[in-house]
Amino acid sequence: MGWHVLNTRPADRAEHLTQYLQSVGHQVSELPLLAFESCVLSGADQHALQQIALYSAVVVVSPMAAQLGLAHLARLGVVVQDLAVRWIAVGQATAQVLRQAGVQPSVPALETSEGVVALPQFAELNAGQSVMLWRGVAGREVIQLQLGRQQVDLSNFEFYRRVMPSDLISGWRDLTQTIGWPDVVLISSAEAWRYWQQLTGEGAMRPWLLVLGQRLFQQLQPLTPRLLALTDLQPQTVERALHGVMPK
């Protein structure tokens, strides 16, 4: 018997996982815990972005960062295929956006910040080199701290901020009234966990939690035994984790 899984990924990233889990017998509901707002770049940031050819590497943390960063470069007239820049992507979804633009990034097997800093290509960045970090507002402290230790000249570009979707509360109410509480909830970031807590209050740890990333897993581990860690968000990885959920 399959589980009722709540896929909380952003709407434009949820479909593939939902379809796969449904195909192997799970009931899946979608309720994005995060939405994104684009940030306005300052004139100084736009000028720095236009000088991307002078940088040694660009580290891109998410598909959204990749999409927005590439869009800014296109508006500035920069042809990314002509750049002799090292590209590093946190995960395969981010890498796919970059590949579609004609660049070939390095991607860690462990699709987390910890996986990125363990890459040989990342370790080769050192003092005297300039590195761009494409990201959202806040987060990815592990990457920033390690680049600081390696004494690179780091330029942060915050292309978006994460916000609570405007229809999250009504969507959750409709879901619980029509289907009921899920057995398992996907929590893909610290921000998603914060909004899940705000949404459900004392019920936040009622379902099993599938948590992406070791740091968030360690944060939640003292709070509930109904917890499983994910190394990435590939459908097969999520399905394997569901096999670790104890029978009802």
Per-residue pLDDT tens digits for 91-124: 888 999 999 999 999 999 888 888 899 999 999 9
Alpha carbon distance, N-terminus to C-terminus of the chain: 10
Query: Is 204's pLDDT higher than 50?
Result: yes
Give the mean pLDDT of the chain: 92
Least confident of 31-40, 63-72, 131-140: 131-140
At residue 248, the pLDDT reads 47
Q: State the Cα–Cα distance between residues 41 and 83, nearest whole angstrom.
A: 21
- DSSP letters for the chain: ---EEEE-S-HHHHHHHHHHHHHTT-EEEE--S-EEEEPPPPHHHHHHHHTGGG-SEEEE-SHHHHHHHHHHHHHTT--GGG---EEEESSHHHHHHHHHTT---B--SS-SHHHHHTSHHHHT--TT-EEEEEEESS--HHHHHHHHHTT-EEEEEEEEEEE--TTHHHHHHHHHHHT---SEEEE-SHHHHHHHHHHHGGGTTSSEEEEESHHHHHHHTTT-S-EEEES---HHHHHHHHTTSPP-
For 57-99, how does the pLDDT look when each residue is reduced to its tens digit (9 = 90+)?
Answer: 999 999 999 999 999 999 999 999 999 999 999 988 899 999 9
Task: Enter the pTM of the model.
Answer: 0.81
**pLDDT > 90: percent of the chain:** 77
Token representation of residue 35: 């939405």
Q: What pLDDT score does 245 carry?
A: 73
Q: Is the pLDDT of residue 164 over 50?
A: yes
| Per-residue model confidence (pLDDT) at position 169 | 96
